[in-house]
């Protein structure tokens, strides 16, 4: 997989952007995602997920 590197990505971003919108969106989604690790991606950490397809007996 060819990837855009850190430097390439930054140079395209530099001419742009208000990253503040992203900060705001992140905070809002984190809040909705719950307290685990306080993070948007908390739901991705299997230890903290309830099983969705099976329930322990």
Partner 1 sequence: MRRYVGDALRRRADEYGWDALRVLAGMAGGISPAGPSELALRACRAAGGSDEAAYPAAAALHALHAAIHLVDDIIDGEERSIVELPPGLRANLALALQCIAVEELAAAPPELRAPLMLAAAAAGRETSRGQELDAAGAADEEAYWRIVEAKTPPLFTAALRMGALSGGAAAATADALAAAGVPLGVLVQLGDDLGDVMGEALHPDWERPGDNVALRFALEADHPERERFHALVPLAADPAARAEAREILVRSGAFSFCVHHMRLAADEARRTVRAVPLLDHAPVLELIDHIAAPVAELLAEVGVDELEPALA
Residues that bind partner 1 (CB under 8 A): 1, 3-7, 9-23, 25-26, 28-30, 33, 37-57
Cα separation, 35 vs 22, in Å, equals 20
Residue entry with tokens 């309830």: 50
How near is the Cβ of 31 to partner 1 at its closest, in Å? Answer: 12
Q: Is the dihedral of CA 33, 36, 39, 42 positive or negative?
A: negative
Considering the complex, what minimum distance in angstroms separates the CB of residue 41 from partner 1?
A: 4
Least Å distance between CB 35 and partner 1? 9
């Amino acid at each position: 997989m060819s990837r855009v590197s850190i430097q390439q990505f930054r140079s395209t971003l530099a001419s742009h952007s208000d990253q503040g919108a992203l900060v705001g969106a992140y905070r809002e989604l984190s809040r909705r995602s719950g307290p685990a690790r306080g993070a948007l991606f908390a739901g991705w950490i299997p230890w903290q997920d309830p099983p969705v397809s099976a329930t322990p007996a």
